[in-house]
Structure 1
Amino acid sequence: MTKIGYARVSTIDQDFELQQQRLRAEGCLIVRAEKVSGASRDGRTELATVIEFLREGDELVVTRLDRLGRDTRDVLNIVHECEQRGACLTILDPHVSTRGEMGHVILTVLGMVAQMERRFIKERQREGIERAKSAGRYTGGKLRVDYQKIRQLSASGIGVTAIAKEIGCSRMQVYRVLNAAGT
């Protein structure tokens, strides 16, 4: 049995080092991490790699359920995929495992709570933006990556992976910028 850890943060300026340390402390021999939104599974290549790597008896470990996803259906699909491979899922905080039937019930409820929390966050964010706009203080979100530099690097023949490393973003972000530019 191999313990495989998965860490995720939503934005480039966040750090997943604490998650990785905790996963290693829990005995995870392999820890994969990515900086991408948990709203859906789109662009979550590390998660896909981890699930594909799972074998009979393995255990996928995450620090919290919202690191796995914020959509109940996605979380339940991930649990199902793990089980199809003969593996189980363990969440460290609160400690829940799919090894027993009760774990499935708790994961379903926690998944619904994570999804509801995401809706509340988006609602509060929308309200804050509206208040800032009405007060004349809203200037839009900060630009996280330099779109122009991505386009320049691509035009000079540099590959997507190298661009992502240079800029400090995901390959998916590079693809989005290049697709938006029609490159």
Structure 2
Amino acid sequence: MAIIGYARVSSLGQDYEQQVEQLKNYGCTKIFSEKQSGAKKDNRKALREGMEYLREGDKLVVTKIDRLARSVRDLQNIANELDEKGIGLVFLKENIDFSTPAGKLMFTMLGAIAEFERDLINERTSEGRERAKKQGKHMGRPAMPEKDIKRALQLYNERETNGMSVNDIIQLTGVPKSTIYAEIKKLKDKEQQ
């Protein structure tokens, strides 16, 4: 059985040496470390390498939950993947060992709490959106002034004579590229009817 550590900091200016020291003190014989945002598991090369390195009966040790996962869903996915391979998971700061019955219970409770929290947030967001609609408030990005859109389309159509690129037009008028192209498409669709 190997005890493998994983250390991560979010930015290049941060240092993971303290994490590495804690992992060594726990007994980790190999440590995978990286300076990378934890937002997406796919971006974390050292984590992927560590997951591939681990074998049944091994244990992955991390100093804190947020060093391994940025969301409960991410944590659940990683923990389930490790569990299916027969690999233990330990968080030092939280004193959680997912290979024990108490650790599995804690993991289940974290998942249930996170799901409850997600449902509450979704419910509040829906209620807020409905309340805003009833009050006549505009939802989403503010509409571009019609005169700015017309000016952008005019400049777009005169590109050969004015020498402007689409980026120049965006800079001058403030009309986003997506709006310019959407309006051009509308005009072409009208012409084809």
Instruction: State TM-score, norm by structure 1.
Output: 0.58
Partners of 1:109 and 1:70 in 2: how far apart?
17
Q: What is the 5 A alignment of 1:62-141? A: 62-107=62-107, 109=109
Q: What is the 5 A alignment of 1:5-24? A: 5-24=5-24
Verify the 8 A CA contact 1:63 1:92 in the aligned structure 2.
Answer: yes
Deviation at 1:80, TM superposition (A): 1.0
Partners of 2:39 and 2:109 in 1: how far apart?
17
| Matched residue, 2:156 | none
**Which secondary structure state, in structure 1, belongs to the residue aligned with residue 8 of structure 2?**
strand
Instruction: State TM-score, norm by structure 2.
Output: 0.55
The higher relative CO (CA closer than 8 Å, separation ≥ 6) is in 1
| Matched residue, 1:46 | 46
- Which region of structure 1 is more displaced relative to structure 2, 55-64 or 31-40? 31-40
CA RMSD of aligned residues (A): 1.8
**Distance change (3 Å), C-alpha of 1:110 and 1:10:** farther
Deviation at 1:40, TM superposition (A): 2.1
Partners of 1:107 and 1:12 in 2: how far apart?
31
User: What amino acid is aligned across from residue 91 of structure 1 in structure 2?
Assistant: F
Deviation per residue, 1:123-168 (Å, 9 max, x gap): xxxxxxxxxxxxxxxxxxxxxxxxxxxxxxxxxxxxxxxxxxxxxx
Partners of 1:110 and 1:36 in 2: how far apart?
25
Deviation at 1:107, TM superposition (A): 3.2
| Matched residue, 2:140 | none
Structure 1 residue ranges, 4+ long, deviating more than 6 angstroms after superposition: none
Partners of 2:71 and 2:105 in 1: how far apart?
16
Q: Aligned pairs, how many?
A: 114
Deviation at 1:33, TM superposition (A): 0.3
User: What amino acid is aligned across from residue 59 of structure 1 in structure 2?
Assistant: K
Verify the 8 A CA contact 1:40 1:71 in the aligned structure 2.
Answer: no
Q: Which has the larger radius of gyration?
A: 2
Which of the pair is proportionally richer in helix?
2
Deviation at 1:47, TM superposition (A): 0.5
Deviation per residue, 1:72-130 (Å, 9 max, x gap): 111111111111221110000111011123313323555767xx8xxxxxxxxxxxxxx
**Distance change (3 Å), C-alpha of 1:24 and 1:54:** same
| Matched residue, 2:30 | 30
State, as a whole percentage, how many aligned pairs show the same letter. 43
Q: Do structure 1's residue 60 and structure 2's residue 60 form an aligned pair?
A: yes
Partners of 1:46 and 1:108 in 2: how far apart?
27
Q: Do structure 1's residue 3 and structure 2's residue 12 form an aligned pair?
A: no
Partners of 1:52 and 1:40 in 2: how far apart?
17
